[in-house]
């Protein structure tokens, strides 16, 4: 029996259906649908975005970010999308606050825990 060259698959992120995707095989003969995706470049996001996923290229640095990590900024009366890091640098998004020390009360004395 011959191995299939094409397969249908669904994007796990947005659910878009793709028909006749090329099939890649590993050395064990396991088949994988070759769906082209781009990772969201926001640290810790972990989303892989297909061409149908809602995603943006940062206006400043051109990195791909998902909708959750995009900041819309008006540029010359037109909305542009920035990644959070570039939006902070441009002063269009609040910088994250540094972590506050944890306060512990022991025997009536307040102490900071690092």
pLDDT value at 111 more than 60: no
Instruction: Report yes or no: 33 and 23 within 8 Å, Cβ to Cβ.
Output: yes
Q: pTM (2 decimals)?
A: 0.68
In the numeric block, the tokens 């995706």 are attached to: 37
> Which of the four pLDDT bands, split at 50, 70 and 90, describes residue 59?
very high
Instruction: Report yes or no: 28 and 42 within 8 Å, Cβ to Cβ.
Output: no
- At 17-56, the pLDDT tens digits run 999 999 888 999 888 888 899 999 999 999 999 999 999 9
Which residues 6+ apart lie within 8 Å of 83 measured at CB? 41, 42, 58, 60, 61, 63, 65, 69, 70, 71
Q: Would you state the pLDDT for residue 107?
A: 65
């Amino acid at each position: 029996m011959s191995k299939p060259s094409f397969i249908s698959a669904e994007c796990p992120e947005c659910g878009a259906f793709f028909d006749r995707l090329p099939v890649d095989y590993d050395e064990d003969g396991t088949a994988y649908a070759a769906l082209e995706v781009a990772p969201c470049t926001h640290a810790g996001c972990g989303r892989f975005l297909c061409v149908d996923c809602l995603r943006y290229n940062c206006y400043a640095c051109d990195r791909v970010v998902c909708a959750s990590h995009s900041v819309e900024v008006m540029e010359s009366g037109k909305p542009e999308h920035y990644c959070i890091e570039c939006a902070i640098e441009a002063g269009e998004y609040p910088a994250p606050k540094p972590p506050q020390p944890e306060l512990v009360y022991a025997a009536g004395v307040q102490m900071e825990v690092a």
